[in-house]
Amino acid sequence: MKKPELLAPAGDMEKLKYALAYGADAVYMGGQAFGLRAYAGNFDWAEMEQAVNWTHDLGKKLYVTVNIFAHEPDFAELPTYLKHLEELKVDGAIVSDPGVIMMAKEVAPRLPLHLSTQANNTNSYSVRFWMKQGIERVVLARELTLQEMNDLRPKVDGGLEIFIHGAMCMSYSGRCLLSNYLTGRDANRGECTQPCRWGYALVEEKRPGIAFPIEEDERGTYVFNSHDLCLLPHLPLLKPIDIDSYKIEGRMKSVQYVASTVKVYREAIDTLWEQGEEAFQEKLPQWLEEMDKVSHRDYSPGFLFGKPGASSHNLISSHYVRDYDFVGVHLVEEKMENQTLKILDENLSWVEQRNNFKVGEVLEVLTPQRECWSFEVKEMWDIEGVPMEVARHAQQKIKMSVPRKILPYSILRRAKSEKK
């Protein structure tokens, strides 16, 4: 049985490079139009060409989201956009609107089409219908159970993709009107403000201005606030279904999130497929520990075992679990262009700051291939060589004394308990 593709989010060029460095087989990204993450970094045409070349040079694949529910004015610019994607030789456009699909087939016939989860495919008949329309891969609805996926797979010949990790939308297949109604920003055109994460209370019509908590909590009640999806422990159950691609959600998440989740799922898939379930179960606790180090809401298996109940929603708070601070990245050579930085020996390293840290704190190093390791910050200097006690400035370039070589694409983070 072939391994599934591990598909990772690429909100910008940096995240794309980290996703691929940590083991993703493919990445998905958005251009500056027609995608459902209007507030992600996204890519202009020059950046997209660079991204395609970078990905293809590594022998990996790149998909572009074109999954808005289009309105009539969108079709004025859409043909040029689709033609350009075809010319760039992206490996697929992720679409959801039948009109967009029809347009793509007319103007960019060599552009592979993947059907977004927004199209809420929940049965083999709808999957086969779309494949007859020229769709090469269908991203199944997140509402499917394990049994339903088992029943569906033998009836479908084309490619299937599922989400295995990331934020869950409270609305069916992400088709939500709350943001549009409450803020005027349309979630189905990439502008969701996540009102499902806001606090809510009850108001009685004869008592205007008086809000009654639904539960006895001064912060309100988060009645729509779903937990994050994490199917890591259940990969042995998914393996026999023979899904073509496992997808991680999170184009708006941090570089640390991308690196950590991709590394864990890369190791988990490789272990399960190459060494078997016994080896997988032995390593599962350390993978779950790593998953807890990224910013996340409480984890849930989603719909895998049936319709989720109250246990899959956080009714008290919309806050994230943040046990670690992401404080910096190792500066790889391409990030050092146009800088007066020199390649250093193994006991010195250049780092780009992402959060405050200081001398005396213990930092953990996450690397693409090896185990994590930690060290105490003992000496550091700014780009002019002036000694520093605290790295305060965002994206400041810092030279650090380190006990051993920090590998390219390493992430530096700090446990909350290590804060001074």
The CA distance from 216 to 384, in Å, is: 55
CATH of domain 324-415: 2.40.30.10
- pLDDT given at position 151: 97
DSSP 8-state code for residue 57: H
Confidence of residue 4 (pLDDT cuts 50, 70, 90): very high
Q: Determine the Cα–Cα distance for residues 269 and 252; give it in Å rounded to an integer.
A: 24
CB count in 10 Å sphere of residue 159: 20
Average pLDDT over residues 379-393: 94
**Is a pLDDT exceeding 90 seen at residue 342?**
no
Q: Which of 224-233, 325-334, 391-400 has the highest mean pLDDT?
A: 391-400
Instruction: Identify the bridge partners of residue 381 per DSSP, sorted by sequence position.
Output: 387, 399
C-alpha 19/C-alpha 263 separation (Å) is 8
Which residue intervals of 276-391 are DSSP H helices? 277-291
Q: What is the pLDDT of residue 419?
A: 42
pLDDT digits (tens, 9 = 90+) for 13-41: 999 999 999 999 999 999 887 876 555 56
In the chain, what are the domain boundaries? 5-170+226-309, 177-193+200-222, 324-415
Grade residue 415 by pLDDT with cuts at 50, 70 and 90.
very high
Mean pLDDT of 170-198: 69
Q: How do residues 71-116 score in pLDDT, each as one tens digit?
A: 999 999 999 999 999 999 999 999 999 999 999 999 999 999 999 9
pLDDT at 308 (0 to 100): 74
Mean pLDDT over residues 123-144, rounded? 96
CATH superfamily, with its number, for domain 5-170+226-309: Aldolase class I (3.20.20.70)
Mean pLDDT on 320-337: 79
Angle at Cα 30 formed by Cα 28 and Cα 32, nearest 5°? 165
Residue 317 clears pLDDT 90, i.e. is over it: no
- Residue 418: pLDDT band by 50, 70, 90 thresholds? very low
Give the side-chain half-sphere CA count within 13 A for 18: 28
Residue predicted with more confidence, 340 or 150: 150
Q: Say whether pLDDT at 186 is over 90.
A: no
Task: Please report the pLDDT score of residue 205 as a whole number.
Answer: 79
Q: Which pLDDT value is given to residue 313?
A: 64
Specify the pTM. Answer: 0.87
* pLDDT tens sequence across 219-273: 445 556 778 899 999 999 999 999 999 999 988 889 999 999 999 999 999 999 9
Mean residue pLDDT of the chain comes to 88
Q: Is 89 helix (H, G, I), strand (E, B) or coil?
A: coil
How much is the pLDDT for 34? Answer: 83
For residues 284 and 113, give the distance between their C-alpha atoms in angstroms, rounded to a whole number: 35
Within 13 A of 381's CA, how many CA atoms are on the CB side? 11
CA dihedral (243, 245, 247, 251) in degrees, to 10, reads -160
Is 5-170+226-309's fold the same as 324-415's?
A: no
